[in-house]
Structure 1
Amino acid sequence: QVPVTVRNTTQGPINGTLWAVSSWGTWAGVEPGCQGFTVAGGTEQECVIEVDGSAVPPGSYWLLAKVAWNGCVAYTEAVALEVTP
């Protein structure tokens, strides 16, 4: 599991979408590919990207999250995704 914390610094609720973005060849093992979220004003919420290493060939990959809300887009830093045989 890869946690992604979405923080809302405004006073009102924010609805958005979080995408899991990963290396080619890993998509079968990374889900959900897209998930919606709602964060109340002044709070944060943890979303989770699940990784199934048995569905990904052994190798070194990367994974990041793309978050969009109210016409804005942000990307997390990429994390290493190592799959061993």
Structure 2
Amino acid sequence: MKKSVLFISCDEAKHICDKAQYDEASSWEKIKLNIRLIYCNVTQKYYKRNKKLTNVVKSSNAECLNLKEREALEMKFKKELSKH
């Protein structure tokens, strides 16, 4: 079966969608994704969920552990694992 230049698989569309969310997709990939979004309901739903997730993560006020806190947590984890 010959591979089409404009029409991509659902898996490829999902991969491009992920890249596009982080501005890593090329213009050509975005064009192919937009063509896929016109006719594929599965890709449309994935795109909407991915966009919503990205917006939630960006707008959250989540704080990450600093290096010392992370190392202390890893030590406690290893200590508990060694008990079992």
TM tier relative to shorter chain: under 0.3
Higher share of residues assigned strand: 1
TM-score by length of 2: 0.25
TM-score by length of 1: 0.25
Q: Which structure has the larger Rg?
A: 2
Higher relative contact order (Cα pairs below 8 Å, separated by 6+ residues):
1
